[in-house]
């Protein structure tokens, strides 16, 4: 018989390990829950929920940090970073953030249109120091 922990792990899905050469190791990316996805949609869409919010670089960077905060994890699926910690990477880790965003979207089956919107959001949130 399955235990409660085994069922919860199966429901969460597998953690994808991603090589991050700049860090000299791997980081996990977990499957987003329906609540996570609804939360992100609420951040990116108008109050009516039917159309994307206007482009705002600061807000876009915050959304990108929320996405990564919900996704990046250890091998057991435990989240590693708060959004504020990830925001500190702006201008220093933009290439790594792009890699992690792409891997998160692929692992979670986020549509091509949503992927393009999040990629655009991430780029518009970079500072002039970004590479």
In a domain, 79, yes or no: yes
In a domain, 50, yes or no: yes
pLDDT, residue 118, reads: 54
Nearest CA to 43 out of 125, 100, 98 is that of 125
Q: How many CB atoms lie within 10 A of CB 61?
A: 23
pLDDT of residue 5: 83
Closest CA relative to residue 44, chosen from 28, 66, 26, 27? 66
Residue 81, domain member (yes or no): yes
- Nearest Cα neighbor of 118 from 55, 69, 73, 72 is 55
What is the average pLDDT across 110-125?
58
Q: Fill in the DSSP letter of residue 51.
A: S
| Beta strand ranges found along the chain (DSSP E) | 16-20, 25-29, 72-73
Question: Cα dist. 74→15, 18, 70, 102, 118 in Å?
Answer: 8, 11, 12, 18, 23
69: containing domain: 15-124
Is 116 inside a domain boundary?
Answer: yes
82-93 confidence digits (pLDDT tens): 999 998 887 777
Average of per-residue pLDDT across 5-32: 89
Mean pLDDT of the chain: 80
**pLDDT tens string 34-87:** 899 888 888 887 665 555 666 777 788 888 899 999 999 998 889 999 999 998
CATH code at 106?
Answer: 3.30.2220.20
pLDDT attached to residue 57: 75
Closest CA to 21 of 106, 99, 109: 99
């Amino acid at each position: 018989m399955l235990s409660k922990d085994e069922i919860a792990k199966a429901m969460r899905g597998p953690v994808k390990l991603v090589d991050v050469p700049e860090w000299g190791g791997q980081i996990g990316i977990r499957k987003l829950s329906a609540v996570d996805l609804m939360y992100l949609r609420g951040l990116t869409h108008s109050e009516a929920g039917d159309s994307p919010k206007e482009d705002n670089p600061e807000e876009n960077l915050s959304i990108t940090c929320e996405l990564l905060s919900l996704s990046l994890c250890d091998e057991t699926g435990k989240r590693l970073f708060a959004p504020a910690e990830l925001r500190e990477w702006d201008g220093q880790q933009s290439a790594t953030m792009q890699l992690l965003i792409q891997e998160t979207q692929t692992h979670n089956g986020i549509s091509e249109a949503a992927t393009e919107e999040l990629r655009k959001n991430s780029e518009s949130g970079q500072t002039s120091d970004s590479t």
